[in-house]
Homo-oligomer: A and B are copies of this chain.
Amino acid sequence: MLVVMQAHATEEQVRAVCQKIESLGYRAHAMPGATRTAIGITGNQAEIEQGTLDEMAGVQEVIRVSKPYKLVSRDVKEENTVIKFAGTQATIGGKNLAIIAGPCAIESREQAFAVAERVHRAGAQFFRGGAYKPRTSPYSFQGLAEDGLRIMAEIREQFGMKIITEAIDNESLALVEEYADVIQIGARNMQNFSLLKRVGRAKKPVMVKRGLSATLEEFFMAAEYVMSEGNYNVVLCERGVRTFADHTRNTLDLSIVPAVQRLSHLPIVVDPSHGTGKRNKVTPLSRASVAVGADGLIVEVHNQPDKALSDGMQSLYPEQFDELMVQVRQIAAVVGREIVPIGTVASLSSSVETPPDTRMATLR
């Protein structure tokens, strides 16, 4: 259920409706929009009896949402969610095209800095790297754990890039939440509901990767799990699904980008590295991802792909990433996007305003 407040409803009225909802044993999620506030109602039991909320002060309409996802839906929040970060105008969602790059795994300080220096110079605003690696074999390299997180924190300090890294369980999540700017939930954990709930109580934005055989609705429900606990800063990530096709490791499903944007206010980025599993496909599919309207890219780059401890075959050489950025910038311009530099902290201090989403006007 969803309560749409009147345009002129006061904060007090919103609070009163929320309290009423909570008093009935449900949970209220106030989502302020540009012109009015909507209040999502979630909870285990049957729906709130008709008439209970309709007559309260400031309430315009009570809508029954028939889709299983509620907080994810554009019905609840019409404007695109734009995730902002302290000290930069680079956002995820909005006019900025978010560029997330880095190695699959943090292997050493030297390797991580070598990659970071290159991707930063090419224009990446976010640095990715795994400190905890969910590997199919228990005998494979499992990541540097907290040492890896510390290296990434140093990289943030030196280059200004925001850090995104994966949490694989409650233990790693506690540390990732401490060190990172965005917490990644991997494809194999997309239906680890216990972890989703826990990350829903974290204070950092969350990027949820689509499971290998997840439908759009299941993808949304994973985000709903996070949001139902109160963390509304969720980014979705398409990273390829499993099909019979064998010319790529996975089949990158770009049609999910407009599908997500139609039904949800959440931003969605694309991972062409896992999505194809092949170095020579990453750049063309990056162009396609931006052209289809994605809110960002997450790309694997390694200084020595042939010696990478994981996923070397799909990691770009730094010079390939340079070339990718040249091409992607041109496509971005066509679809009304720009790649805001991360490192302009000083110049921004005077005006930290939300960049207007002009994309819809140009291409949708």
Write the residues of chain A forming the contact surface with B, with a CB cutoff of 8 angstroms.
42-44, 68, 134-142, 168-172, 188-189, 191-195, 197, 212-213, 215-218, 221, 224-225, 228-229, 241-248, 251-259, 262, 275-276, 280-281, 284-285, 287-293, 327, 330-331, 334-335, 363-364
Which residues of the other chain, B, contact A218 by a CB distance below 8 angstroms?
Answer: 136
Which residues of the other chain, B, contact A292 by a CB distance below 8 angstroms?
Answer: 284-285, 287-288, 291
Which residues of the other chain, B, contact A289 by a CB distance below 8 angstroms?
Answer: 288
State how many angstroms separate the Cβ of A7 from the closest Cβ of chain B: 29
With A259-B247, A259-B281 already in contact, the answer to whether A43 and B139 are too (CB < 8 A) is yes
Contact yes or no, A284 B262, CB < 8 A:
no
Contact yes or no, B335 A287, CB < 8 A:
yes
- Complex: how many Å from CA A257 to CA B212? 22
State how many angstroms separate the Cβ of A215 from the closest Cβ of chain B: 6
With A212-B213, A288-B289 already in contact, the answer to whether A137 and B259 are too (CB < 8 A) is no
- Complex: how many Å from CA A149 to CA B49? 34
Besides the known contacts A68-B139, A169-B170, A330-B334, 13 further A-B residue pairs in the complex with CB atoms under 8 A apart: A138-B221, A189-B192, A215-B244, A215-B247, A216-B246, A216-B247, A241-B244, A251-B251, A254-B285, A258-B281, A284-B292, A284-B363, A287-B335
Which residues of the other chain, B, contact A171 by a CB distance below 8 angstroms?
Answer: 194
CB-contact partner of A243 in B169, B191, B243, B257, under 8 A: B243
State how many angstroms separate the Cβ of A94 from the closest Cβ of chain B: 18
Contact yes or no, B254 A134, CB < 8 A:
no
CB-contact partner of A252 in B255, B276, B327, B335, under 8 A: B255
- Complex: how many Å from CA A215 to CA B248? 10
Contact yes or no, B258 A280, CB < 8 A:
yes
With A213-B213, A285-B254, A331-B334 already in contact, the answer to whether A224 and B280 are too (CB < 8 A) is no
Contact yes or no, A139 B259, CB < 8 A:
no
